[in-house]
Structure 1
Amino acid sequence: MDLILGIALALAGFYMAWNIGANDLANAMGTSVGSKALTIKQVIIIASFFELTGALLFGGEVTDTIAKGIVPLDSIIAVSPDIVAVGMLGAILAAGFWITLATVYNLPVSTTHSIVGSVLGFGIVCAIYGIIAFSDIHWGVMVGIVASWLLSPLLGGVIAYIIFYVVRKKFLVKTEDVPGIEKKFIFLQVVTACFVAFSHGSNDVANAIGPLYAVYNMYGPYSFNLMNALLLLGGLGIVVGLATWGYKVIDTVGNKITELTPTRGFSAQFATAAVVLAHSFVGLPISTTHILVGAVIGVGLAGGLSGINLKVLKSIGLSWIVTVPVSALTSGIIFYILALFFL
């Protein structure tokens, strides 16, 4: 692999991880800030440890899916390994550009959607040029991933609603000291914030380093554990992204969708973390953003539809719809341009 291309891939991977921290992890932790259980500084400290731990312990399975499960890389490698290297570079850049744009407008979008759409765009361009057949793309895997995207917000919302319903019935309704109960739940929300950061690291770090692993693995073997090295790179990038730019999306999720209290924040976070970690165990890339927003809506609906800011939800929903096609199209264009220089 060309040295310049190898360095460009590493930098692009870190840039993508930085975007994930600024947008995806920021929205996952936004409920803790919105309910005032934690400050932004405290969230950064918690995320630094648990995000890296989740990535290193459980990030490998989802990374493998992103790296190999969507496009038949072996068939492309048989033609030229450099095609994969350039294509994955284009995919990472396309996903990163889209997430950066979304963060500018304070919109929590799915980094999983972004990278999966971008890798798919690379595969479609390869099919257009006859490098692979359209039928070679793993459409069955795509269907499974897309189905999980549709079900996960609903699942997160239902679980969060149930948890908050139980909490409200068992604790809030039976006391006159609601502020006191809310104060006691701050500790539980801190615990679930750790759980969210851990589960996020186990799943979403793959969005940054999955394409890198696919490329570097072609040119191995290495004297070090490639997977762990890339997981560490991705985890560090995510933490830096949260620390430097995460405040924008934290404000949207924590303050603009619905009013959050420690009991509501706890319910939303626990539901989100549980669903994400379950998907990580089976190696299925899932959108933490979709689950968390679904969970926040779930606890908001427990107080009636009037408790939800539908205008904000409309903007978020529109950004979700266009993420995959925009990422795929941008990836195809960038791949075509990069191919003129590297292939």
Structure 2
Amino acid sequence: MEFITEMLSNQAGIMLIVIIVLALGFDYINGFHDAANSIATIVTTRVLTPFQAVLWAAAFNFVAYFISLYIIGEFKIGNTIAKSVNIDFINLEVILSGLVAAIIWNLITWKLGIPSSSSHTLIGGFIGAAVAHAGGFAPGGTDVIVYEKVIPIFLFIFGAPFLGMVLAYFITVAIMWVCRKMNHHKCEVWFKRLQLVSSALFSLGHGGNDAQKVMGIIGAAVIYYHMNVDLDAAYMAEGADTFALFVEHWWWVPLASFIFIGLGTLSGGWKIVKTMGSKITKVTPLEGVAAETAGAVALYVTEHLGIPVSTTHTITGSIIGVGVTKRISAVRWGVTINLLWAWVLTIPVSAIIAMIVYYLVSLFL
């Protein structure tokens, strides 16, 4: 309580509180924007009702907190996000502007029913605001963007859905071969049950992947505040590891991040559910299991590598991979091409919005 009172006594502290509130708000929006990723196939195959599906997904979003904290024991994705911009060009105005831009783009794409990436929206906003603050991409010969962190993120705009597609294709083919002599009705019953497991696995990956992105942004803001406002040099060392920073001092931030993404998932995102569950290709329970399992594996691999990827891109690629096993024409490629355009445009559009927001913020702060 004393710490909160201290923060409220100065403008930077108030701004840090605003950033944390906005970040958790973005986390919530991320949850209902990306709810479709976890529940689209399980709803369209009628394994669960929409309410049961979001409750199921939200529960496993939150369970991912305990896995990250006690089993994995690190927040690699949070570290990557926090370090995607050179620390010399980060301040509270940059972080605030990036968050506002990310929220704006997420709400626009949600309203239009476009399954864009919340991850890339956040990264684009962060980079765009930092570039605006620096006055260009390389002032004084120093790069604003930390390319070794950002380039893998750009590559996985296409790498994550491709990985999901390939995995889903081979998983579907393997399942169909194993089940080729089994009774169709019995298979259908079993795969409806298995879809509960596969959607839970995907929701774990979604929670573990996406909640950490918000933690990374909050981590960057906390480190800046302590190093530049109350001049606590200890945070320079601790800030090198987001996990240590949060476990030692800000333990409630990871907990709140996972809670808010779970609450957001509970709110659902029904327009995107329709796009993901039926507009790309028709999905059966067997195919739902294959798509969700492939998506979950892809998320676990990229989380292990510390690369923030889009759960939206990953599951979309997995659904396409399932569709291709039937025939190429089973995938509605017109819808898919529109999604690809949204994916490509997300980072630059978010960056431009963030630049505009930063200039507006700079007029008043």
Same structural fold, with TM-score higher than 0.5 when normalized by the shorter chain: yes
8 Å CA contact 1:56, 1:231 repeated in 2: no
Corresponding residue number in structure 2 for 1:71: 85
User: Residues 85-135 of structure 1: CA distance to partner in whole angstroms, max 9, x if unpaired?
Assistant: 111111111111111111111111111111111111122223326877552
- Deviation, 1:207, is 2.8
* Matching of residue 321 in structure 1 with residue 344 in structure 2: yes
Aligned counterparts, 1:62-211, within 5 A: 62-68=77-83, 70-73=84-87, 75-76=88-89, 84-128=91-135, 133=141, 135-171=143-179, 173-175=180-182, 177-211=183-217
- Which range moved further: 108-117 or 144-153? 144-153
8 Å CA contact 1:90, 1:331 repeated in 2: yes
User: Residues 291-339 of structure 1: CA distance to partner in whole angstroms, max 9, x if unpaired?
Assistant: 1000000001111122112232232122112101100111111112112
Q: Distance in 2 between matches of 1:160 and 1:25?
A: 20
Corresponding residue number in structure 1 for 2:6: none
Check 1:228–1:254 CA distance in 2 against 1; reply closer, same or farther (3 A cut).
farther
Corresponding residue number in structure 2 for 1:218: 224
User: Residues 184-238 of structure 1: CA distance to partner in whole angstroms, max 9, x if unpaired?
Assistant: 1112111111111111111111232321111123335799745542222222222
Question: CA RMSD for the aligned pairs?
Answer: 2.2
8 Å CA contact 2:130, 2:144 repeated in 1: no
* Matching of residue 29 in structure 1 with residue 44 in structure 2: no
Corresponding residue number in structure 2 for 1:80: none
SS at match of 2:326: coil
Q: Distance in 2 between matches of 1:92 and 1:200?
A: 20
Corresponding residue number in structure 1 for 2:229: none
Unmatched 5+ stretches in structure 2: 1-10, 69-73, 227-234, 236-244
8 Å CA contact 1:121, 1:332 repeated in 2: yes
8 Å CA contact 1:29, 1:196 repeated in 2: no
Name the aligned partner's letter for residue 88 of structure 1: I
User: Residues 38-78 of structure 1: CA distance to partner in whole angstroms, max 9, x if unpaired?
Assistant: 2222222222322122135327221111012x1111x23xx
Match of 1:57 among 41, 47, 67: 67
- Deviation, 1:140, is 2.5
SS at match of 1:237: helix
Corresponding residue number in structure 1 for 2:239: none
8 Å CA contact 2:80, 2:149 repeated in 1: no
Q: Distance in 1 between matches of 2:206 and 2:246?
A: 29
User: What stretches of structure 1 move > 4 A for 4+ residues in a row?
Assistant: 129-134, 220-227
8 Å CA contact 2:30, 2:118 repeated in 1: yes
- Deviation, 1:270, is 0.4
- Deviation, 1:154, is 0.9
User: Residues 111-170 of structure 1: CA distance to partner in whole angstroms, max 9, x if unpaired?
Assistant: 111111111112222332687755242123221221222211111101000000111121
Check 1:228–1:37 CA distance in 2 against 1; reply closer, same or farther (3 A cut).
farther
TM-score by length of 2: 0.85
* Matching of residue 230 in structure 1 with residue 253 in structure 2: yes
- Taking only the aligned residue pairs, the percentage that are identical comes to 27
Name the aligned partner's letter for residue 76 of structure 2: E
